[in-house]
Amino acid sequence: MIWKKFNGEKIQIPIYEEVEQVIEREINLGHKLKVCIGTDSQVKGSTTDFATVIVFIREQKGGFMFIHQEKSTQKMSIKERMLMEVAKSIECAYSLCDLLDLYDVDLEVHADINTNPMFKSNQALHEAMGYILSMGFVFKAKPEAFASSTCANKIVQ
């Protein structure tokens, strides 16, 4: 799985190791961190582009993110695509949660799903919320889900 920094630079070591180095560096600099993980997708013809982001928020000091992109040619309904986004975020969060617990870094999983029933993505809200919460993660949906609806969204546009 290839991860990149926002500037496009490829991360050369496994993401777990990179995240650990980042956490240690930021703690040594005196920063309190929170990590938010989210995924967004965009359908382009017969292909769906997915972007998953790990957003590091430094308390009152800005933030930065790591990005993983992938494509799928699988045909999906809007609900299936929303749940696929959530699954990708959960997979990432699960792979890092022990490390984040070790360093006492708060973690949120963000879903690009609208809480307003007028939007199509709302069809997946209850399943996504149940999926994320049942895994023991903090769940955020729009408008609070900036990792997926803003950060990852910028990558797939």
77-128 pLDDT, tens per residue? 988 999 999 999 999 999 999 999 999 999 999 998 888 878 877 888 888 9
38-85 pLDDT, tens per residue? 999 999 999 999 999 999 999 989 999 999 999 999 999 988 999 999
Range of the structural domain that residue 68 is part of: 4-156
Phi, psi of 33 (to 5 degrees): -110, 150
Quote the number of domains for the chain.
1
**At 51, which CATH number?**
3.30.420
Q: Distance of alpha carbon 146 from its chain centroid, rounded? A: 9
User: Which H or E element spans position 150?
Assistant: none
pTM score above 0.75: yes
